[in-house]
Structure 1
Amino acid sequence: MLNGQMPIFILKEGTSRDQGKNAQKNNIDAAKAIAEAVRTTLGPKGMDKMLVDSIGDIIISNDGATILKEMDVDHPTAKMIVEVAKSQDTAVGDGTTTSVVLAGEFLKQAEELLEQGVHPTVIANGYRLAVNQAKKELDAIAKDVKDDKSLEQVARTALSGKNIGLGGDMLYKLIVKAVNAVAEEKNHKFTVEPSSIKIDKKSGGSVNETELIMGLVIDKEKVHSKMPSVVNDAKIALIDSALEIKKTEIEAKVQISDPSKIQDFLDQEVDTFKEMVSKIKKSGANVVLCQKGIDDIAQHYLAKEGIYAVRRVKKSDMEKLAKATGAKLVTNLDDLSASYLGSAKKVEEKKIGDDRMTFVTGCSNPKAVSILIRGGTEHVVSEIERALNDAIRVVAITKEDGKILPGGGAVESELSLRIRSYAASVGGREQLAIDAFAKALEVIPRTLAENAGMDPINTLIQLKAEHEKKNINTGINFSDNKVSDMYAIGVFDPLKVKRHALESAVEVATMILRIDDVIASKKSAPSPGGQGGMGGMGGMGGMPPY
C-alpha cells in the first residue's frame, strides 16, 4: 500500500516472480544441476545413462546431446543449458557434454564472485574478454593435420568412451575412408557434406560385421520375384514419377455399352505400361529405382525384360544415389536416355537379418557412400549409430579445417595457465572474472580424472607442473591412468569443437548471469459465468503492490 492508497496489481493472478539474488541463485542452481547430470559421462571412461520415456522405450547413451534431449526438462534456465548442447551438436557434432559442463562451471565460479559483491555485468565482461583471449591461444596451440593417420586418431578419440563393443579399431578407419570418399576439393580446400554418408542399421550379428559400401544400401527389396537378384555392370535409371496410370484431377466415369469394348479398354491400359517399359529398355537401363509407385502390370513387364526395379525409394536416398552413381533424376520417361543413366559394378538384393535390402556397390568415385551397422541388440546398434554420427561430423570438420589440438584435458590445462597470466595484464574488477574463467576451465581435466577413477587433485597438480615446464601437450593418459604427451599417444581434438564449446558455454553463462527477474505466468482457469477471471483480483501469487 502506497501513501494510504490501494495496492495496484499489474500481473495476472497465479503469476510467480523471483527477483534479485534469489532469481540469480535459482537460475545458477538449475544450470549446475543440468551440468551435474551429464558430468559423469565425460571422457573415454565416462558412464552411460539409461533413459526411459513415458511409454517405456529405453535409450542407453553417454552422448550429452541425446541425454539432454530425452530428459524432460521443465525449468526455463535448464532449458537454456539444453539449448547449448543442441547448438553444439548442430554446429560441430561433438563436445556437447564439454560445453554443458563448462557452462555449469562458469556459473558456479560466477556465483562466488556475486557473493563477494561483484556486479553481474562486470563478470559477463570479464568472461567475454577471457573467451576472446582463449580463442587466440587455441589458434596458437593448434597444429595442422598432416595425413589420414591424424584423422584416424581424431575419429578414435571421438569414439572413445562410446558403448561400441569391440569394433572400435575397425570403425575409426572406416569413418576416415567414408569421409575421404565424399570429400570434394576446391582451391586446395576440402568441403565435406556429412549427410552424403548414409548410415543404415540392422540388429543381429557382431559390431565387426559393420561395413562401408562404396555405393549405397537401400532398405527396399525388388518389386517382383521374377526379377534378377543380381545385376552386374548395372546401368541405373532414377525415376521420380510413378510408373502408374495417373488418375484424372476431375471425377470422370467411363461407360462401356458394348461388352467387347471392355477388353479393348484393358488392352489399352496394358499397352501404356508396355510403352513405359520399352522406353526404359530403349535407354539401356537394367536397374530402375523409382521414388513413387510401380503398377503390378509394369512390374510384370519389367521382370520379363530382366530389369531390376525398386519402388518408393526415399527422396533423400534418390539424391544420394545420384551422387553415388552419377545418374540424373528423370521426371518424364520421354526424357530418359543413356546420358541420364548412372553406373555401378553390381546391384543385388541381400538378406540382412530378417529384411531384404538392395545394395548398389562398386561405384567409381562415389560422392555418397553407405555404412551398414551391425550389432547384437537394437540398443547397441542405436548407440553405435549415435557414436558414428558424432565421429563422422568431427572427422569432416577436421578435414575441412585442417587443425587439431591435444586431447585428454591438455588444452584446458594450458588455457587455464595462459588466461591467468592474461588476467594480470587486464587489471580492475574484470581481472577477478578472468581468473574465475581460468579456474572454471580446470573442471574438464578434473572431471576426466574423476571419471577414470584417478585422484583429481593429484592429477591437476601433475598437469599444472608439466604445463609450467612448457609441456603444452600433456594431458591425461587413460590407458595407464597417468599424465603424458597427447600427441605421442594420438589423442586429438578438433580445433573447431573446442572453440565452439567455449563460445557457446560463455554465451549462455553470461546470458543467465544478467537475469535478475524471473516472471512466470500461469494460465488461470476461467471463472464461473465466463468473466475471464475478473473475480480473483485479491491474491496475486506474492506480487508486491506498486
Structure 2
Amino acid sequence: MAGLGGTPVLILKEGSQRTAGREAQRSNIMAAKAVASAVRTTLGPKGMDKMLVDTLGDVVITNDGVTILKEMDIEHPAAKMMVEIAKTQDEEVGDGTTTAVVLAGELLKQAELLLEQEIHPTVIATGYRDAATKAIEILKDLAVKVSPDDEELLKKIAITAMTGKGSGNARGELAELAVKAVKAIVDEDGSVDIDNITVEKKVGGSITDSQLIHGMVIDKERLHPNMPKKVKNAKIALLNAPIEIEKTEVDAKIEITSPDQLQAFLDQEEAMLKEMVNKIVSTGANVVFCQKGIDDLAQHFLAKAGIYTLRRVKKSDMEKLARATGARIVTSLHELTPNDLGKAGLVEERKIAGDDMTFVEECENPKSVSIILRGGTEHVVDELNRAMEDALRVVGVVVEDGMLVPGGGAPEVELALRLREYAATVGGREQLAIEAFAEAMEIIPKTLAENAGLDQIDTLVALRSKHEKGMKAAGLDMETGEAVDMLERGVVEPLRVKTQAINSAAEAAVMILRIDDVIASKSTGAGKEGKEKEPSGMGEDFD
C-alpha cells in the first residue's frame, strides 16, 4: 500500500502478505532451521529413524535425509530450498544429504547471531563464500588417493554409507555386492553409470539371501507354458518390433464374398506369422526378448520351436540386456541376423517370493548387472534398497574420482581449526563470518556425539585436542566416544560427498540470507471444503 495525497493506493492484491527487513530474514531462517532440526537426529550410525505417514496412510520408515524431506509436505518457500539442497546432494553423489541440510541450518543459525550484531547480510555472504572456497582447498589437502582396484577400501566406503540404514549385521555382505556390481559396469573411460545396475526388491528370506547376478533379472515370466523353463548357451535376440500382423497405416476395406476367401485370408495371416517366427529360428536364436506385442498364434509357433520368449519388456531393461549380453536391439524383424544375437550361459525362469522372474546369467563380460535384495518385511526391503543405492553411488564416485576423506566428523573438526586460522589473516568484518562458518562446521561432530548418547562438549574438546596435535584423521568412535584415527578404522567417505555438501549448504545459506522481502500472493485455489488455502507456513510438523 502506498499513500498519494492521503489516498491509499493498492499495489498488491487484497489479501496478499508482505514481510520485509529483519522480520523476513527471521522467518526464513527459522523455517530453514526447523527443517534442519527435523532431520538432525538421523545423522550418523546411531541416528534414529523417522516414520512418515502420507495422506493415503502409506508408511515409510527411514533415516535417509532426502527421503524424509521428499515425504514431508513442506509449504514454506525457504524450507523448500532446504529440500532442494538434499535433492541436489542425492543426485550428485547419492550420500551426505542429512549432512548438507544440517550444515545449511547451522550456517543460518550462526548468521542470525551476526545479524543481531548489526553485521550486514552482504558481508556475511562474502565471508561464507570465502570460507567455502577455502574449505574445499583444505579438504583436497586432507584427501587420500584410492585405487579402483583396492576392493577392501571400496568395501569400507560402502559400509560407511550403509551404516545406520537398517542393513544391520549384513553390511559386509551387502557392501561386497555393491563393490562387485560397480566394478563390473565401469566403462573404458573410467566413468560409472549406476543406472546399469538393476536393483530388484523381494520380500521374504533374510538380508543375507540378497545376491548379485552377473547379468539381468527381469520381473516377467515366460510367455507360454510350453516354452522351455531353462535355456543353456542362450543366443538372445532383442526385438523392438511386434511379432504380429500390423494394422495398415491408411483405412482399408477388404470385401469377402465367400467362406473360401475368408479361410484364405486367415491362412495368409497364419503363414505371415509363421514366416516371422521362422525368420527368428533361422538366425539360431533360442531366446527372444520383445519390446512390443506378440500374437497368440506367434506365441504357439515360438513355443513349438522351443524358444524362450518374453514380451513387452521395458525399454530400459532392453538397453541393459544389450549391455549385459552384447546383443543389438533390432527394430525390424527382417533385418535380424546371427550377428545381432547376444550370448548368455543360462536363461531361466525362477520363482522368488511367489513371483516368476527371468534370470539372464553367466554373461561373458556384462556391462549391466542385477542385485536382488531380500528382507523380512516390505519396510526392511525398502530401507535396504535406499542403503544399497547410497552404497552403489558412493563406490561409483570413488572409482571415478579416486579420492576419499576420513569420516566420523574428522574433516569438519580439521576444517573448523584451519578456518579459524584463516579468519585471523583476513581481517575486517568478513573475519567474523569466516569464524561463524568454522563454528558451524562443528555441528557435525556435535550431532554425531549427541545421537550416540555422548556428551557434546567433552567429545568436541577431545577431537580438537587431537587435531591441534596434528592428527588430521581423528574422528569420533561411536562405541567408546574417544577420538581415534578414522583411516585406520576404515571409516571413510568420498571427497565429493563433503565438497558437494559444503558448497550446497553455503550457497543455500547465502541465498536465504540475502532475502529481505517476502511478498506472498493471495491464494486463489480453494481447498476441498471450499475454504481458501492459508498463507504458506511451515504447518504443524515443526512445533
C-alpha distance in structure 2 between counterparts of 1:14 and 1:354, whole Å: 57
State the Cα distance separating 1:40 from its structure 2 match: 0.3
C-alpha distance in structure 1 between counterparts of 2:359 and 2:525, whole Å: 58
1:320-331 pair list within 5 angstroms: 320-331=320-331
Letter aligned with residue 78 of structure 1: A
C-alpha distance in structure 1 between counterparts of 2:153 and 2:204, whole Å: 32
Question: CA offsets, 1:474-510, max 9 Å, x none?
Answer: 0011243322100111000100010000000000000
1:106 aligned onto 2:100: no
Segment drifting more, 494-503 vs 176-185: 176-185
Letter aligned with residue 158 of structure 1: A
C-alpha distance in structure 2 between counterparts of 1:524 and 1:145, whole Å: 56
Counterpart in the other structure of 1:531: none
Question: CA offsets, 1:341-364, max 9 Å, x none?
Answer: 000000000001111000000001
State the Cα distance separating 1:219 from its structure 2 match: 0.3
Counterpart in the other structure of 1:57: 58
C-alpha distance in structure 1 between counterparts of 2:349 and 2:49, whole Å: 37
Counterpart in the other structure of 1:361: 361
1:291-306 pair list within 5 angstroms: 291-306=291-306
Q: Which runs of 5+ in 2 are unaligned?
A: 527-543
Segment drifting more, 122-131 vs 157-166: 157-166
C-alpha distance in structure 2 between counterparts of 1:434 and 1:129, whole Å: 7
Letter aligned with residue 154 of structure 2: L
Instruction: Find the partner of 2:153 among 128, 150, 155.
Output: 150
Question: CA offsets, 1:68-108, max 9 Å, x none?
Answer: 00000000100011111011111111110000000000000
Counterpart in the other structure of 2:342: 342
State the Cα distance separating 1:2 from its structure 2 match: 4.9
C-alpha distance in structure 1 between counterparts of 2:321 and 2:525, whole Å: 55
C-alpha distance in structure 2 between counterparts of 1:166 and 1:439, whole Å: 35
Structure 2 vs 1, CA of residues 134 and 239 (structure 1 numbering), >3 Å: closer, same or farther?
A: same
Counterpart in the other structure of 1:532: none
C-alpha distance in structure 2 between counterparts of 1:314 and 1:119, whole Å: 55
Counterpart in the other structure of 1:16: 17
C-alpha distance in structure 2 between counterparts of 1:347 and 1:231, whole Å: 5
Contact kept? 2:424, 2:431, Cα under 8 Å: yes
State the Cα distance separating 1:164 from its structure 2 match: 1.9
1:392 aligned onto 2:392: yes
Letter aligned with residue 50 of structure 2: K
Question: CA offsets, 1:315-365, max 9 Å, x none?
Answer: 000000000000000011111111000000000000011110000000011
Instruction: Find the partner of 1:162 among 161, 165, 186.
Output: 165
Counterpart in the other structure of 1:236: 236
Letter aligned with residue 377 of structure 1: T
1:30 aligned onto 2:31: yes
1:178 aligned onto 2:181: yes
SS at match of 2:87: helix
Question: CA offsets, 1:235-277, max 9 Å, x none?
Answer: 0000011111111233333221111222211111111111011
C-alpha distance in structure 2 between counterparts of 1:425 and 1:100, whole Å: 29
Counterpart in the other structure of 1:518: 518
Letter aligned with residue 249 of structure 2: E
Contact kept? 1:406, 1:492, Cα under 8 Å: yes
CA RMSD of aligned residues (A): 1.2
Counterpart in the other structure of 1:538: none
1:97 aligned onto 2:98: yes
C-alpha distance in structure 1 between counterparts of 2:328 and 2:478, whole Å: 50
Contact kept? 1:222, 1:309, Cα under 8 Å: yes
Counterpart in the other structure of 2:201: 201
Contact kept? 1:203, 1:374, Cα under 8 Å: yes
TM-score between both structures, scaled by the size of structure 1: 0.94
TM-score between both structures, scaled by the size of structure 2: 0.95
C-alpha distance in structure 2 between counterparts of 1:234 and 1:303, whole Å: 15
Letter aligned with residue 66 of structure 1: T
C-alpha distance in structure 2 between counterparts of 1:480 and 1:339, whole Å: 61
Letter aligned with residue 73 of structure 1: I
Contact kept? 1:14, 1:524, Cα under 8 Å: no
Segment drifting more, 427-436 vs 388-397: 388-397
Count of residues in Structure 1 that have an aligned counterpart in Structure 2:
523
SS at match of 1:414: helix
Contact kept? 2:199, 2:385, Cα under 8 Å: yes
State the Cα distance separating 1:3 from its structure 2 match: 7.7
Contact kept? 2:185, 2:368, Cα under 8 Å: yes
User: What percent identity do the matched residue pairs reach?
Assistant: 59
1:478-493 pair list within 5 angstroms: 478-493=478-493
Contact kept? 2:459, 2:481, Cα under 8 Å: no
Contact kept? 1:166, 1:207, Cα under 8 Å: no
SS at match of 1:166: helix
C-alpha distance in structure 1 between counterparts of 2:249 and 2:261, whole Å: 24
1:437 aligned onto 2:437: yes
Letter aligned with residue 56 of structure 2: I
Counterpart in the other structure of 1:373: 373
C-alpha distance in structure 2 between counterparts of 1:284 and 1:524, whole Å: 64
Letter aligned with residue 208 of structure 2: N
Contact kept? 1:166, 1:208, Cα under 8 Å: no
Contact kept? 2:214, 2:369, Cα under 8 Å: yes
1:76 aligned onto 2:111: no
C-alpha distance in structure 1 between counterparts of 2:479 and 2:486, whole Å: 12
State the Cα distance separating 1:524 from its structure 2 match: 5.3
Letter aligned with residue 473 of structure 1: A
